[in-house]
Amino acid sequence: MKKETTLAIVFGVLMGLIVAVILIFILRPSGEDRVAQSDSVLTPKSGEANIMPLDISEPSDREINLTDTIKISGKAKKNSLIVIESAISEEVLTNKEESFSINFPLAFGENLITIRAYVDKTQTVPQIKTLRVYYLKE
Amino acid sequence: MKIKIFVLTLFLLIFITANTVIGQDSTGELEEIQEFKDKLASKVAELQQNEDKAIAGFASDINKSSLKIITSNNEKYSVEFDDLLTKYFSIGNSITEKSREDISEDDYVIVTGPVNGDIISANGIYIDTQYVSGSGIVSQTDQSNLALTIITLENDTFTIDVETSTKKQIINIKELKLDNVGFSTIKAGDVVHFIYKKSNEENKNNRYSADKILVVPQEYFSK
């Protein structure tokens, strides 16, 4: 083997080692950075793609009411078809904004109020909330 | 004599001063006690309002001092009566006052009063009707028996009898309002919401007589 060839091989191996050292110890992120990166990946992100669940802020379940009308307020995905039903009444509405609110009549005694939101016209499965509200005079 | 007058005057002055001071103290104390009583009463009323809940279920194990109820979520409560405080009512077309003896096994009762764990100290007991609601997709319509076979979200199959007394409505998808509907208009594929009265008797066939149905036509979903 010629002297130049041996030098070229040694030079090549040395260069390879230097590049490997640079990649492993200098450019590789530290443990803390990697934990931070993995954390940021694992954190659930809220975005428009997530489906907004039907949420009823009032009334609460098993609430006692002393009048014959109750205000039902909540939030659902915009432009949902919202159907509110009890044994004595029913209301249909669409929400231009996420929030919606409506006055709803109560019968004396227990009122089983079912609120269904059809958030997507391609889905026949609604989001459902069921409340029992009691109109009782003490 | 002068000494006597001086002593008497001094005694009178001490008496008047002491009386005034004692009077002031007792008046002040009374005011404080009254204020404390008012605060206590207001706090008790507030706590009572917060603690008073209504819990409904089917009655069982009725005796002179208590009964048991099982809610629709299968929670069990013991309801304690108070001879002086507890009032009994029946809810029908009107509200009528009843007595403890009018409550029967399997009556659906609403109990109000403070709840401590699974014990309710009843202030009021109302005999009422339990309604149940459900929804699903119509899989079959039986024109001769006016019955709908509905498959729910939970994949349960219900047979819903549509009586002449059943309130029947459909969502007008153009105007988004409710219209009355005839049985013949309902088709397989429509979504139906239904409400019926529940009794405590076991119903193995999942067949119920609807008090009302509300139809969301399938055309709404295919728009």
Three-class DSSP labels, chain B: CHHHHHHHHHHHHHHHHHHHHHHHHHHHHHHHHHHHHHHHHHHHHHHHHHHEEEEEEEEECCCCCEEEEECCCCCEEEEECCCCCCEEEEECCCEEEECHHHCCCCCEEEEEEEEECCEEECCEEEEECEEEEEEEEEEEEECCCCEEEEEECCCCEEEEECCCCCEEEEEECCCCEEEECCHHHCCCCCEEEEEEEECCCCCCCCEEEEEEEEEECHHHHCC
pLDDT at A109 (0 to 100): 95
Tell whether A59 lies on the interface with B, counting CB pairs under 8 A: no
pLDDT tens profile B139-165: 999 999 999 999 998 999 999 999 999
Question: How many CB atoms lie under 10 A from the CB of residue B141?
Answer: 18
- Distance in Å, alpha carbon of A129 to nearest chain B alpha carbon: 11
More confident of the two residues A40 and A134: A134
Give the pLDDT confidence score for residue B7 in this predicted structure.
56
Rounded Cα–Cα distance for residues A103 and B73 (Å): 27
d(CA B68, CA B80): 9
The sign of the CA dihedral B173, B177, B183, B184 is: negative
Q: Across-strand partners of B219? A: none
Taking an 8 Å cut-off on Cβ atoms, the answer to whether B126 and A136 are in contact is: yes
Point out the residue among A108, A121, A132 whose CB comes nearest to the CB of B220.
Answer: A121
CB contact under 8 A, A92 and B153: no
CATH architecture of the domain covering B52-128: Beta Barrel (2.40)
pLDDT for the residue A45:
42
Q: For residues A41-65, give the mean pLDDT.
A: 73
**pLDDT at A43 exceeding the cut of 50:** no
Region of B183 please: left (phi>0), alpha (psi -120 to 50) or beta.
Answer: alpha
| A85 three-class SS | strand
Nearest CB to A85 within list B110, B176, B214: B214
Shortest Cα–Cα distance, A114 to chain B (Å): 7
Q: Round to whole Å and give the CA distance between A57 and B69.
A: 28
The whole-number pLDDT of residue B38 equals 76
Q: What are the beta bridge partners of residue B77?
A: B69
- Nearest Cα neighbor of B214 from B188, B173, B179 is B179
Contact of A69 with A84, CB cutoff 8 Å:
no
Query: Does the pLDDT value for residue A73 go beyond 70?
Result: yes
**Distance, CA of B212 to CA of B139 (rounded, Å):** 18
Residues A110 and B131: their CA atoms lie apart, in Å, by: 9
Q: How many CB pairs under 8 A join A and B?
A: 89
Candidate from B191, B211, B214 with C-beta closest to A124: B191
Pairing outcome for strands A90-94 and A109-118: unpaired
Number of residues that make up chain A? 138
Whole-model pTM?
0.71
Burial class (CB in 10 A: 0-12, 13-18, 19+), B157: middle
Dihedral of CA atoms A137, A59, B153, A118 in degrees, nearest 10, equals 130
Q: Domain B131-222: give its CATH superfamily.
A: Copper binding periplasmic protein CusF (2.40.50.320)
Residue B146 confidence (pLDDT) = 96
pLDDT at A39: 47
| Range in A19-33, A124-138, B72-86 the model is least confident about | A19-33
CB contact A108 to B (< 8 Å): yes
Q: Are A90 and B72 in contact (CB under 8 A)?
A: no
- pLDDT for the residue numbered A47: 43
Among B91, B177, B222, the residue with its CB nearest the CB of A109 is B91
Quick one: average pLDDT of A76-84?
A: 96
Which has the closest alpha carbon to B140: B165, B170, B162? B162
User: What tens digit of pLDDT does each residue of A107-123 get?
Assistant: 999 999 999 999 998 88
How large is the ipTM? Answer: 0.74
- For chain A, say whether B55 makes contact (Cβ under 8 Å): yes
Number of C-beta neighbours around residue B151 at 10 A = 14
B222 contacts in chain A (CB < 8 Å): 121
Give B55's contacts in chain A (Cβ within 8 Å).
Answer: 62
Report the candidate in B189, B60, B59, B40 with the shortest Cα–Cα distance to residue B111: B59
B160 near A CB under 8 A: no
Tell me which residue of B197, B191, B190 sits closest to B212, measured CA to CA: B197
Q: Do A83 and B191 touch (CB under 8 A)?
A: no
Do residue A83 and residue B132 have CB atoms under 8 angstroms apart?
Answer: no
**Within chain B, which residues score under 50 in pLDDT?**
1, 21
Q: Which of B123, B176, B191 sits opposite A94 (nearest CB)?
A: B176
In terms of pLDDT, which residue wins out, A109 or A21?
Answer: A109
pLDDT at residue B186, rounded to an integer = 97
Which pLDDT band holds residue A48 (cuts at 50, 70, 90)?
very low
At residue A40, the pLDDT reads 47
